[in-house]
């Protein structure tokens, strides 16, 4: 049996994993998966929480991984805040307390019942180092697509992005469409924005991770650099 990785980053699903692989690669950070392991000691193992055949509670999965990662290791988790930023944080925070982290170790990474905006990193004696990031930026409710929206190149003066947002703004409301032509729900607006943005690129319809590689999202954008700094501080503190 292969040894357990001592640097592990948990993400929700396949799209999240592909975005992480692409974003880390753009910044020269090595990452691998169970299916394609690497031997370099600085490699970060990216693991999906959700697969086609499970419906696990992310906080429970996080706790289970805490119990098996080496004491000298690092465990990070990236979740969508969705519409429950404080609830997601408290669920993970409670698991840290259950594992034996003291309140004092968590306090420096917490502000107003949420992680600090630069991402939570918790260190405590003989326990693994733990990192928590809630998409998009630990400060507002949202998801992966919200994070990617913050990476639109020259967003404020990008004419194509302006056309995307204008088109969706002018779309009639949900209840004006017949059953055979349902439009997206308003809660999924950001997903619609991002996938419309990708549909209108020079090479239309690239998946999210490939779109990052193709520079349809800016890996050097301010919010991307904050996230990458969190990754380095957590897993590669000597290079941060």
- Half-sphere exposure of residue 222: CA atoms within 13 angstroms, side-chain side: 5
* Strands 74-80, 31-32: pairing kind: unpaired
| Number of Cβ atoms within 10 Å of the Cβ of 150 | 18
Please determine, for residue 2, whether its predicted confidence score (pLDDT) is greater than 60. Answer: no
Alpha carbons 206 and 164: distance in angstroms, whole number: 16
- Tell me the domain boundaries of the chain: 7-143+220-235, 151-213
pTM: 0.95
> Taking a C-beta distance cutoff of 8 angstroms, is the pair 99, 105 a contact?
no
Q: What is the pLDDT of residue 74?
A: 97
* Long-range contact set of residues 150-158: C-beta below 8 Å, sequence gap at least 24: 150/221, 150/222, 150/223, 150/224, 151/212, 151/217, 151/218, 151/219, 151/221, 151/223, 151/224, 152/197, 152/217, 152/218, 153/215, 153/216, 153/217, 153/218, 153/221
How far does Cα 226 stand from its chain's mean position? Answer: 12
- Segment 74-122, tens digit of pLDDT: 999 999 999 999 999 999 999 999 999 999 999 999 988 899 999 999 9
- Segment 181-234, tens digit of pLDDT: 989 999 999 999 999 999 999 999 999 999 999 999 999 999 999 999 999 999
- Tokens 């520079």: give the residue: 215
Kindly state the tokens that stand for 233.
């501080």
Q: What is the pLDDT of residue 1?
A: 46
- Segment 58-69, tens digit of pLDDT: 999 999 999 999
Q: What is the mean pLDDT of residues 3-17?
A: 91
């Amino acid at each position: 049996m292969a040894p357990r990785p001592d640097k592990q980053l948990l993400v929700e699903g396949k799209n999240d994993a592909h975005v992480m692989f692409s974003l880390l690669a753009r910044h020269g950070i090595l990452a691998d998966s169970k299916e394609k392991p690497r031997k370099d000691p600085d490699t970060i193992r990216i693991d999906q929480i959700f697969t086609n055949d499970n419906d696990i509670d992310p906080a429970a999965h996080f706790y289970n991984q805490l119990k098996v990662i080496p004491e000298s290791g690092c465990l990070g988790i990236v979740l969508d805040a969705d519409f429950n930023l404080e609830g997601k944080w408290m669920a993970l925070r409670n698991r840290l307390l259950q594992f034996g982290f003291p309140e004092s170790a968590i306090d420096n990474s917490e502000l107003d019942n949420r992680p600090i905006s630069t991402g939570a990193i918790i260190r405590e004696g003989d326990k693994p180092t733990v990192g928590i990031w809630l998409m998009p930026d630990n400060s507002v409710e949202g998801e992966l697509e919200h994070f990617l929206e913050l990476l639109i190149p020259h967003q404020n003066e990008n004419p194509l992005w302006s056309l995307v947002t204008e088109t969706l703004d002018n779309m009639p409301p949900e209840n004006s469409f017949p059953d055979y032509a349902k439009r997206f729900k308003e809660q999924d607006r950001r997903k619609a924005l991002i996938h419309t943005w990708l549909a209108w690129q020079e090479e239309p319809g690239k998946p999210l991770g490939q779109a990052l590689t193709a520079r349809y999202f800016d890996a050097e954008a301010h919010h991307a650099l904050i996230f990458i700094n969190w990754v380095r501080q957590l897993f590669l503190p000597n290079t941060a």
